[in-house]
Amino acid sequence: MTGDLFDHLGVQEKAAEEPVRLGEGAFIFPGMALPQAEALLDAARAIARKAPFRHLITPGGHRMSVAMTACGDWGWNSDRKGYRYTRTQPETGEAWPPIPDSFERLVRQATMAAGFSEAPLQSGLINLYRPGTRLSLHQDRDEEATDVPIVSVSLGVAATFLWGGLTRKDPMRRFRLSHGDVVVWGGPSRLVFHGVAPLARSTHPATGECRVNLTFRRVTR
Ligand code: MD6
Ligand code: FE
């Protein structure tokens, strides 16, 4: 098995194609997005032409290493005043581009596969990682609708995903997220602390040195 390959790094490698259960209501679906990966990346590039990637500033004054943009009814923003969802792009006042049909179909498929009834389609955030980009441990708690799961799609260079517990001090496990992997989490796992380790310098035919992550949420009730 390929598991041995990553054992020395403490990364738990997943068996091909079988869903990996992270916790109650949380799963990795390896390769679920592979058939439409190119279409998803094309759609993400089209969104980025209308709503460019930017490095947001945290309330603490740090420039985030991940570059972000969004589609759908709500985009996520951060500045010195705090984190919040906005209806429009703060830089231009324009609406966020709509969620493409290709995104919506995959989100519905993943939501059902994880056993949830409501697909999170109010907001699609797009994160762009380059070598060294990381996302520090956080909870996704700026949404009112924490009863609806989050669907997350990984494209391009593989990353190490950090998966903790409901408090910052809980032990963390590491999982590799590869091109086409889809993660769904909701229910009792919805507020689990998680993050992404610094992206290794590597290349993927679809994205070069980058990793692209799409996350879909329901924001309001
Ligand atoms: C990422 N994802 O994979 C970062 N948050 O690039 C997240 O922070 C995330 O994947 C909530 C739910 C799913 C996620
Ligand atoms: Fe998150």
Cα separation, 75 vs 188, whole angstroms: 25
CA of 177 to the centre of ligand 1 (A): 11
pLDDT score at 17: 80
Rg for the chain, CA atoms, rounded: 16
**Ligand 1 atom showing the smallest separation from residue 161 Cα:** 3
pLDDT score at 1: 44
3-state helix, strand, coil in the chain (%, to 5): 15, 35, 50
The CATH number of the domain covering residues in 4-217: 2.60.120.590
pLDDT (tens, 9 = 90+) of the chain, 221 residues, equals 444 555 555 665 545 589 999 999 999 999 999 999 999 999 999 999 999 999 999 999 999 999 999 999 999 999 999 999 999 999 999 999 999 999 999 999 999 999 999 999 999 999 999 999 999 999 999 999 999 999 999 999 999 999 999 999 999 999 999 999 999 999 999 999 999 999 999 999 999 999 999 999 999 99
pLDDT score at 13: 55
Ligand of minimum distance to the alpha carbon of 126: 1
Q: What is the CB < 6 Å shell around ligand 1?
A: 127, 135, 140, 150, 152, 161, 183, 185, 194, 196, 213, 215
The SS3 call for residue 99 is coil
Cα separation, 175 vs 4, whole angstroms: 14
Cα separation, 131 vs 108, whole angstroms: 31
CA of 16 to the centre of ligand 2 (A): 25
CA angle 200, 126, 42 (to 5 degrees): 95
pLDDT score at 160: 98
Query: 186: how many CB neighbours lie within 10 A of its CB?
Result: 24
The SS3 call for residue 163 is strand
Closest CA to 158 of 104, 204, 193: 204
pLDDT score at 38: 98
Contact 128, 44 (CB under 8 A): no
pLDDT score at 2: 46
pLDDT score at 3: 47
CA of 195 to the centre of ligand 2 (A): 7
Name the residue of 76, 152, 199 whose CB sits within 8 Å of the most ligand 1 atoms, as the mutation to test its pocket. 152
Ligand 1: residue whose CA is nearest its atom 10: 152
DSSP lists the bridge partners of residue 208 as 204
* CB-based contacts of 106, cutoff 8 Å, min separation 6: 32, 33, 36, 40, 151, 153, 182
* Inter-axis angle of helices 37-50 and 101-113, nearest 10: 130
Ligand 1: residue whose CA is nearest its atom 1: 213
Q: Where does residue 54 rank: exposed (0-12), middle (13-18), buried (19+ CB within 10 A)?
A: middle
pLDDT score at 5: 53
pLDDT (tens digit, 9 = 90+) per residue, 8-55? 556 655 455 899 999 999 999 999 999 999 999 999 999 999 999 999
